[in-house]
Amino acid sequence: METIPASAAVEIEHQLAKYGIQPHGDVSQLNWSDPVPLALEVGGQIVDTAALYMPEMSATAALRAAHSIPLDVPLFVVGSRIHASSADTMRTRGIWFIDEVGNAYLRGRGLLIDVRGQRGHVSVHSGARDKSSPANPFTPKRAQVVLVLLYEPALADAPLREIAERSGVSLGMAKDAIDALEHIGFVEQLGSRRRLIRQGELLDLWASAYPAGLGRANRLAVVRGDVYQWAMPAELDFAVSGECAVPRLIRNPESLVLYIDGGRDKRLLRSLMLTNRWHNDPHGNIVVRDLFWRDLHPTGQPNTAPVQLVYADLLASRESRQLEVADEMRRNNEGLVEI
């Protein structure tokens, strides 16, 4: 059980003090194996947390750790420096954190500390990455691989080249994703065969990371237009997602998510916008994304995105009606329940 280096503990206490936070406990005893109780005093208020030292501050590992503590106790992650995408994922899931350079997120009753973009000096102990530390399987390209495996779990045992082609990534990236999933316990090696396991947990982690990761990276445009009247060229491969993909659950959708093949071609995107009279609007009701997968055809639902992606897009909307439907799908849709 490795504890936080002394120099890191001192720096974390210094950063906490900058924000008027006094730990009631020994920060130097934090470890990266098990969250330990750590009370924080903020403005005379005592808040109980479960604190965990994480050298790499991985959102994946933090989400896994959060499952092991009571729902009413916030997980509080400390470490050297947090990556922006990991910070976004942790904020979304209500995980507290602070790093050595002052990036922080703590939110509770009467408490909000949200500091971003700090890039100060990090002590020397964090300079080298521990080789045993797992890669993040939810970076945008690896997340594409995870989506394809969740939709078709048997692909976990397919040749890496096939996984790469179906996921729209390079051969090396497909291998990286499989290795990362194996390292953190979602791919099991049985002799010469591979098997995807703990699929429900993997789906929850993947969907949580989606808005700040893959969902952000493959967004081509946000526009405003009519979500009922729109047209696509006959030869263009596209898929509908979000609330328009679940007409039985949402009768009068107000937004549309479209995945289009070849959308990185600006001429194609511009042509679609002209044809459909869409106009750019950062707060628009139509999100156009890149269709990255190959040969995933939902049964009986042509031109509909894989159900796991529909679920993730509903969650990413952060709109109450869509969140309720996403929750219902997670409990009742056979493509999400059976995994």
- Do 281 and 326 belong together in one domain? yes
* Residue 194: CATH number of its domain: 1.10.10.10
pLDDT of the residue at 131: 42
**Neighbouring-strand partners of residue 258:** 240, 288
Q: How many domains does the chain have?
A: 3
Instruction: Report in angstroms the alpha-carbon separations of 332 from 25, 185, 297, 326.
Output: 44, 26, 20, 10
pLDDT of the residue at 123: 47
- Do 84 and 172 belong together in one domain? no
- Do 193 and 246 belong together in one domain? no
- Do 230 and 249 belong together in one domain? yes
pLDDT of the residue at 132: 46
Q: Is residue 132 part of a domain?
A: no
Question: Which among 126, 151, 170 is the end of a domain?
Answer: 126
Question: Which among 126, 152, 183 is the end of a domain?
Answer: 126
- Do 88 and 156 belong together in one domain? no
pLDDT of the residue at 127: 38
Token pair 């916008």 is at which residue? 273
Distance from C-alpha of 214 to C-alpha of 219, rounded to nearest angstrom = 8
Structure tokens at 37: 């109780």
Which distant-in-sequence residues (6+ apart) come within 8 Å of 163 by Cβ?
Answer: 145, 148, 149, 155, 174, 178
Mean pLDDT, 10 residues at a time, over the chain (339 residues)?
85 91 91 91 88 88 83 91 85 90 89 84 43 70 96 95 96 93 87 91 88 91 95 88 94 95 84 93 96 80 90 92 92 78
Q: Is residue 1 part of a domain?
A: no
Q: Is residue 134 part of a domain?
A: no
- Do 103 and 13 belong together in one domain? yes
Residue 107 belongs to domain spanning: 6-126
Q: Is residue 318 part of a domain?
A: yes
**Neighbouring-strand partners of residue 326:** none
Distance from C-alpha of 140 to C-alpha of 208, rounded to nearest angstrom = 13
pLDDT of the residue at 130: 44
- Do 306 and 264 belong together in one domain? yes
Question: Which among 209, 227, 260 is the end of a domain?
Answer: 209
Closest CA to 262 of 299, 237, 226: 237
Contact 285, 229 (CB under 8 A): no
- Do 225 and 325 belong together in one domain? yes
- Do 264 and 326 belong together in one domain? yes
- Do 59 and 119 belong together in one domain? yes
pLDDT of the residue at 179: 92
Token pair 């965990």 is at which residue? 52
Q: What angle do CA 32, 20, 88 make, to 5 degrees?
A: 50
Q: In what order do the strands lie in the sheet with 238-241?
A: 238-241, 256-260, 286-290, 219-224, 279-280
Q: Is residue 108 part of a domain?
A: yes
- Do 222 and 205 belong together in one domain? no
Instruction: Report in angstroms the alpha-carbon separations of 62 from 75, 122, 155, 226, 309.
Output: 8, 21, 27, 40, 23
